[in-house]
Structure 1
Amino acid sequence: MSNRIFYVAGRAALGALFLCVAPVTSARGDFGSCIANASAFVVELDNLLLREENRLAPYDDLNERSFPLHDCETDALLEVVKRSRFIRLIDYNPLSKKYFIYFSSDYMRASFTYLVPEKRSTFKTASRVHK
């Protein structure tokens, strides 16, 4: 019985040591941060697209605050962007493993790209709709 106690205690100590020495990833923190940033972006973008104006400055400010997105879990990110009233297209390119995400209103368009293997966003745009 005493050997069993030492075995269990030794395994517990080894597990604790492993937790102390193993590289700590911040994926959980980054994941939460990414989804929070994406959610805030969608809410603010929807508010901008609701306005009947076509100035680019507010979109540029929003992009600077919100991007780039890093370490998002792709399915969670897509669920967040689908909540937008102005989501128009989510397109996936399987060769490049990129999502192209487009929003638009009668006055403005906005979009960004999310690279799945690299877990980061790139290429965000905002432009006026010309009628």
Structure 2
Amino acid sequence: MPARPQMPPPLGMLPDLESGQERVARFGPEVLDAWDARFVAQLAAPHAQRLSLTLADKTQHVLIDVEAGAWAALVLDGEHRTVRQGGPVQLWDQIEEHLLRWQADGSPALTRFEILVTSEGQHFTWPKS
């Protein structure tokens, strides 16, 4: 018996990636290439799905959270990283916050993570290295 659904929910219509708010991103999409950083990012946005699109000769790395109705699109242009976000929550802001805190704590190994389960939900923590 699977512990969670094996297939992500259907994406439906893609968001208008020209809408939303744009800013300089502290991290680019390449941060998600490392599995431990990707795990930390997933704690911040557990329902987000990741895909890449090429539009107007630029690759956009898109995160979509169908449940929340939120999205983030990252573009890497040389050393310049931007993110455009839309919806009721700012997905990339949440991910950056988690990654920055994890790095500030010494990027502890995932084997050191702890989970606390209460009636309010589950919470992941990690000790400072």
The reply to whether TM is greater than 0.5 is no
Larger radius of gyration: 1
TM bracket, shorter-chain basis: 0.3 to 0.5
Higher strand share: 2
After TM superposition, the score normalised by the length of structure 2 is: 0.33
After TM superposition, the score normalised by the length of structure 1 is: 0.33
Higher helix share: 1
